[in-house]
Structure 1
Amino acid sequence: MPDDVEVRRTLSEPAARQLANATKTRAQWSGITPRWLVSFLPWVPVEAGIYRLNRVKDTEGVSDVECSPSRDRDSDLPETFVDYETAPREYFLNAVTTVLDVQTRVSDLYNQPYDQIQEQLRLLIEKVKERQESELIYNGDYGILTNAAPFMKISTRRGPPTPDDMDELIARVWKEPAFFLSHPRAIAAFGRECTRRGVPPPTINLFGTPFLTWRGIPLVPSDKLKIAESADGGGTSTILLLRTGEKKQGVVGLFQPGVPGEVTPSLSVRFMGINRKAIASYLISLYCSSAILTPDALGVLENVEVGHYHEYT
């Protein structure tokens, strides 16, 4: 090689990266949702995990008895009383639980920059909370859809949800309805139908997030409402309308504060020990239930067509 030829070599990028510190994220899980149902429901604290729902025995609420004679006949008043159910329903808090197992070697050696145990607990708590929202809707004992009164259910006239359908639902839950609950695809189908009819639904901001509304009532999305998929890619779902709160005799969530190992209300994390194989175990428990205080607090719109899946991909 001639002496006057200069050869320049530089450090390659792949080699340089071996000495560089990468900025790392926490583990990202697309299954985490806003869980709006949990946020919109009023939560009632219970004692000993029991909530007794007392109701009036008859729908009228009073039983007339013969009038008592009075000196002034114009002021005769009937003697009345309100009778109660003698065997009211009791709700018991159910537990959504899971167990985290961590090899102590992993938590001892690979704990920077993120604490492995805390990260595993964080993700499992998110999974438990996602399951909680599903249970609030479909649990065989206390799920709100499971306990909907038959006379509060209506069906669409076959097709996507229309303004007429939503108005009919409002007519069922006319006493201060709080919010609709539906799958995002059902909300999209309703929005398209409104736009087609020239009445696009307005938007409001709640919790810093925009929500479509109908008649001033927000349409709250939840992917926990199931879709019955059809062979052609379409499907049907359900839209709920809820009145909420004890004062309004609506739907409420139930929880018990102060459970052992509580990290958030009614959710506990407890260390279960380390076994002979050096596995550390943690029990995660979330206690909850829900109750529909009067049957007319929940309306159900069934057989809502939500469109074909390719419209959302």
Structure 2
Amino acid sequence: MNLPAEPVAADHAPAHTVLGDSAARQLANATKTTPILATVTPRWLTHLLQWLPVEAGVYRLNRVRNPQDVKVLCAKRDESELPATFVDYEEQPHEYFLSALSTVLDVHTRVSDLYSSPHDQIKEQLRLTIETIKEKQENELINNPDYGLLASVHPDQIVYPLTGAPTPDDLDELLVRVWKEPAFFLTHPLAIAAFGRECTRRGVPPPTVSLFGSQFLTWRGIPLIPSDKVPVADGKTKILLLRVGEKRQGVVGLFQPGLPGEQSPGLSVRFMGINRHAIASYLISLYCSLAVQSDDALAVLEDVEIGKYHDYPDTYK
């Protein structure tokens, strides 16, 4: 005789076994990004300069000596003689020599052989190293003691703020110094923020302009270009104003063309071989410099106050 099964109490119900998230993830492929380098910036300065090839590694800047002595007179109609003049040149023109930024990248062949999927290890190592060299390039274009922008400002082109914080009056003073086709202001992002606050306080918020797909504040139609390579010390920084281009007798960048293993203007990558320890080496080199063709192509506003120390503690480290 079959008896009916006794009901099973709820607390004695059989446990349900399910696949957990941690175990399931062992069979899943994670989406892997390329390495993110936090120190990479847009490097607007290198984009905005005109770059001139320097094939012999030397750029000789020939200037007219005493340009005010070149005389042209408006002769009267009945005069038979024409005025005579000549244009003299500097006998010892300034020469700019290309600066080399170089490093050697070492990658063990075992690493590149075994761990290059989905991202090629050598390619990524080269990409990150090149990005770092280009960041150093922009820093040198601004701060190099021989050819950098800050070292190339003529003493007559140095001005100081009226009140400390950057104001529209201060930027107007820079425009007086670089009035022939100025291209852009260059300064630290904190100085641009301080200038924006001053403009808002005065009731003249600066308009913006779109360049390279990004928005920039402007003053008198001239964009303010940010760069974290402009030095900041004790709550102060500098604002530069540039005229650029060879035809405008402005600021120009210099590079070495036709390098072996050239990746971009002035930048080369060369394979140096594999040593007996299975280390593959690559030489990455970048050759560049900067020239200010005319003194009035560059001016700087010194001692620009950007805020109190405790507002931006990480900036002053």
One-letter amino acid matched to 2:151: T
CA radius of gyration, larger in: 2
Among 134, 137, 141, the alignment partner of 1:132 is 137
- CA shift, 1:309, in A, is 5.6
Tell me, in whole angstroms, the C-alpha distance in 1 between the residues paired with 2:209 and 2:312: 23
Among 23, 31, 41, the alignment partner of 1:23 is 31
* Structure 1 residue 112 corresponds to structure 2 residue 93: no
Structure 1: 5+ residue stretches without partners: 65-69, 230-234
Give the equivalent residue in structure 1 for 2:165.
160
- CA shift, 1:311, in A, is 4.7
The secondary structure found in structure 2 opposite 1:144 is coil
- CA shift, 1:173, in A, is 0.5
Tell me, in whole angstroms, the C-alpha distance in 2 between the residues paired with 1:3 and 1:293: 98
Does the aligned pair in 1 maintain the 2:67–2:87 contact within 8 Å? no
Does the aligned pair in 2 maintain the 1:241–1:298 contact within 8 Å? yes
- CA shift, 1:192, in A, is 0.3
- Correspondence 1:73-84 to 2 at 5 A: 74-84=79-89
Does the aligned pair in 2 maintain the 1:133–1:224 contact within 8 Å? yes
Q: Superposition RMSD on alpha carbons, in Å?
A: 1.9
Tell me, in whole angstroms, the C-alpha distance in 1 between the residues paired with 2:284 and 2:164: 43
- What is the TM-score with the length of structure 2 in the denominator? 0.91
Give the equivalent residue in structure 2 for 1:300.
300
One-letter amino acid matched to 1:59: P
Structure 2: 5+ residue stretches without partners: 1-5
The secondary structure found in structure 2 opposite 1:177 is coil
The secondary structure found in structure 2 opposite 1:125 is helix
Distance change (3 Å), C-alpha of 1:127 and 1:61: farther
- What is the TM-score with the length of structure 1 in the denominator? 0.92
Does the aligned pair in 2 maintain the 1:101–1:279 contact within 8 Å? yes
Going by fraction, where is strand more abundant, 1 or 2? 1
Does the aligned pair in 1 maintain the 2:66–2:88 contact within 8 Å? yes
- CA shift, 1:312, in A, is 6.1
- Correspondence 1:190-209 to 2 at 5 A: 190-209=195-214
* Structure 1 residue 89 corresponds to structure 2 residue 94: yes
Q: Deviation string for 1:18-68 (max 9, x for gaps)?
A: 11110000110111000000001111112211211100011315269xxxx
Does the aligned pair in 2 maintain the 1:32–1:130 contact within 8 Å? yes
